[in-house]
Amino acid sequence: MTNPVKNSAKNPVVWIEIPVLDLDAAMEFYGTVFGFKMKAIDGGPNMIADFPSDGGVSGHLYPGTPSKDGSTIHIAVPDTLEATMERCTKAGGTILSTPVTIPPGRFVYASDPDGNSIGLFESRS
Protein backbone atom coordinates (compact mmCIF):
# COMPACT_ATOMS: atom_id res chain seq x y z
CA MET A 1 0.00 0.00 0.00
CA THR A 2 1.32 3.43 -0.92
CA ASN A 3 1.23 6.11 1.75
CA PRO A 4 -0.83 9.03 0.39
CA VAL A 5 0.86 11.50 2.74
CA LYS A 6 3.88 13.25 1.21
CA ASN A 7 6.33 14.98 3.52
CA SER A 8 8.45 17.56 1.72
CA ALA A 9 10.56 18.44 4.77
CA LYS A 10 14.29 18.37 4.01
CA ASN A 11 14.99 17.11 7.54
CA PRO A 12 12.21 15.15 9.25
CA VAL A 13 13.70 15.61 12.72
CA VAL A 14 12.29 18.82 14.14
CA TRP A 15 13.04 18.75 17.86
CA ILE A 16 14.91 16.79 20.50
CA GLU A 17 13.97 16.69 24.16
CA ILE A 18 16.16 14.90 26.70
CA PRO A 19 14.74 14.39 30.20
CA VAL A 20 17.30 14.75 32.99
CA LEU A 21 17.18 14.34 36.76
CA ASP A 22 19.35 17.40 37.53
CA LEU A 23 19.22 20.23 34.97
CA ASP A 24 22.35 21.99 36.25
CA ALA A 25 24.40 18.77 36.24
CA ALA A 26 23.15 17.90 32.73
CA MET A 27 24.08 21.36 31.42
CA GLU A 28 27.55 20.86 32.89
CA PHE A 29 27.84 17.42 31.25
CA TYR A 30 26.78 18.54 27.76
CA GLY A 31 28.86 21.72 28.08
CA THR A 32 31.96 19.77 29.08
CA VAL A 33 31.58 17.04 26.46
CA PHE A 34 30.48 19.12 23.45
CA GLY A 35 31.55 22.67 24.33
CA PHE A 36 27.96 23.94 24.39
CA LYS A 37 27.21 27.16 26.24
CA MET A 38 23.89 26.36 27.89
CA LYS A 39 21.77 28.24 30.40
CA ALA A 40 18.50 27.42 32.12
CA ILE A 41 15.51 29.40 30.86
CA ASP A 42 11.80 29.37 31.64
CA GLY A 43 10.43 27.12 28.91
CA GLY A 44 6.77 27.23 29.87
CA PRO A 45 5.71 24.42 32.16
CA ASN A 46 9.27 24.02 33.50
CA MET A 47 12.83 25.19 33.14
CA ILE A 48 14.74 24.04 30.05
CA ALA A 49 18.24 24.41 28.65
CA ASP A 50 18.37 24.80 24.86
CA PHE A 51 21.04 23.24 22.68
CA PRO A 52 22.67 25.79 20.36
CA SER A 53 21.11 26.15 16.93
CA ASP A 54 21.71 28.00 13.69
CA GLY A 55 18.00 27.87 12.96
CA GLY A 56 17.96 24.17 12.04
CA VAL A 57 17.01 21.17 14.12
CA SER A 58 17.70 21.59 17.81
CA GLY A 59 16.29 20.63 21.16
CA HIS A 60 16.62 21.02 24.88
CA LEU A 61 17.18 19.38 28.24
CA TYR A 62 14.30 19.44 30.71
CA PRO A 63 13.66 18.12 34.23
CA GLY A 64 12.02 14.72 33.89
CA THR A 65 12.45 10.99 34.22
CA PRO A 66 14.95 9.58 31.71
CA SER A 67 13.76 6.64 29.64
CA LYS A 68 15.98 3.56 29.67
CA ASP A 69 14.49 2.46 26.34
CA GLY A 70 14.30 5.79 24.50
CA SER A 71 15.75 6.83 21.19
CA THR A 72 19.42 7.56 20.66
CA ILE A 73 20.20 11.18 19.89
CA HIS A 74 23.34 11.52 17.76
CA ILE A 75 25.30 14.70 18.39
CA ALA A 76 28.23 15.96 16.29
CA VAL A 77 31.51 16.13 18.22
CA PRO A 78 33.40 19.45 18.29
CA ASP A 79 36.82 17.90 17.61
CA THR A 80 37.87 14.24 17.47
CA LEU A 81 35.81 11.24 18.48
CA GLU A 82 38.51 10.06 20.88
CA ALA A 83 38.79 13.44 22.63
CA THR A 84 35.01 13.60 23.00
CA MET A 85 34.88 10.04 24.36
CA GLU A 86 37.44 11.00 26.99
CA ARG A 87 35.49 14.11 28.01
CA CYS A 88 32.29 12.08 28.12
CA THR A 89 33.79 9.57 30.56
CA LYS A 90 35.42 12.25 32.72
CA ALA A 91 32.12 14.17 32.88
CA GLY A 92 30.25 11.13 34.23
CA GLY A 93 29.02 9.52 31.01
CA THR A 94 29.63 5.96 29.85
CA ILE A 95 31.00 4.81 26.50
CA LEU A 96 28.93 1.80 25.42
CA SER A 97 30.62 0.70 22.18
CA THR A 98 33.78 0.80 20.16
CA PRO A 99 33.84 3.26 17.23
CA VAL A 100 31.50 2.32 14.40
CA THR A 101 32.51 3.49 10.90
CA ILE A 102 29.76 4.45 8.46
CA PRO A 103 30.04 6.26 5.10
CA PRO A 104 29.58 9.79 6.50
CA GLY A 105 31.95 9.29 9.45
CA ARG A 106 32.10 7.32 12.67
CA PHE A 107 30.40 7.25 16.04
CA VAL A 108 30.18 5.51 19.40
CA TYR A 109 27.17 4.79 21.52
CA ALA A 110 27.31 6.38 24.95
CA SER A 111 25.02 7.34 27.79
CA ASP A 112 24.84 10.56 29.74
CA PRO A 113 24.89 10.50 33.57
CA ASP A 114 21.08 10.05 33.62
CA GLY A 115 21.25 6.99 31.35
CA ASN A 116 19.99 8.70 28.19
CA SER A 117 21.35 7.06 25.04
CA ILE A 118 23.50 9.40 22.94
CA GLY A 119 25.70 8.90 19.90
CA LEU A 120 28.96 10.82 19.63
CA PHE A 121 29.34 11.43 15.89
CA GLU A 122 32.51 12.52 14.04
CA SER A 123 31.90 13.57 10.43
CA ARG A 124 34.28 12.30 7.76
CA SER A 125 34.56 15.76 6.22
> What type of residue sits at position 55?
G
Grouping H, G, I as helix, E, B as strand and the rest as coil, residue 113 is coil
Adjacent-strand bridge partners of 3 = none
pLDDT value of residue 1: 56
CATH architecture of 15-123: Roll (3.10)
pLDDT value of residue 96: 95
Domain boundaries, the chain: 15-123
Q: Return averaged pLDDT per consecutive 10 residues of the chain, 125 residues in all.
A: 60 78 96 93 86 83 84 90 97 96 92 93 88
Grouping H, G, I as helix, E, B as strand and the rest as coil, residue 75 is strand
Grouping H, G, I as helix, E, B as strand and the rest as coil, residue 30 is helix
8 A C-beta contact, residue 78 and residue 84: yes
Grouping H, G, I as helix, E, B as strand and the rest as coil, residue 44 is coil
> What type of residue sits at position 41?
I
Segment holding 23, helix H or strand E: helix 23-34
